[in-house]
Structure 1
Amino acid sequence: MGVGEEFWRGFRFDIIPGMAWIKTIDYEQSDGALRAEYDKATRRAGKVYNIVGIMGLRPLQMKASIDFYGAVMHGRAALSRAQREMLAVVVSQVNHCHY
């Protein structure tokens, strides 16, 4: 059994009644700090992924979150970049997240 599987045993992901709805701001409606963050996201990844877009109502917090991720994944650390990526994959698997 993998890490965290005991927690999810018996949980039925196929019968979740619905998903939460989060208001987002499309690129075309963005401006200012949000437009700048969307532009940076597009340069980094080729598009604005949902994980970024859901923070659109709070562009300063979006920037802080992206900066934090960058520091964790690309900053100086005892773990190699590959090890950090492996940990991110394991956490995503445990959380049933495709990101």
Structure 2
Amino acid sequence: MLTAFQSYCVKQAGAALLLAGLEKEKELLRIFLRVSQMENAVLRRMNLNSFLMVPVQRVTKYPLLLSRLYRATPTCASEREEVKGAQRCVESRLEEINAAAAAA
């Protein structure tokens, strides 16, 4: 699952730059995005660039979620160490994602 996040995170900065460039070049796109943002209640006045950041922000919250789950799991529960292992695995993958994004 985190492989998809890695690919997305590595390409997200380039996508944001591409979007900014297209918005500068294409007046119709800029107008469409602005009107969509202001008039579509589902968008909650968020712009497209904000939506592009959501997966990046979400994946970085997984270690915190797993840490809280670990603390909430009773010490006698057999799953407790599995949760801790999952947290370590996700943290390791996030380090790889950060390194790949920095190299891109």
TM-score, normalization: structure 1? 0.29
The one of the two structures with greater contact order (alpha-carbon pairs below 8 A, sep at least 6) is 2
Structure with greater proportional helix content: 2
TM-score, normalization: structure 2? 0.28
Q: Quick check: which has more Rg, 1 or 2?
A: 2
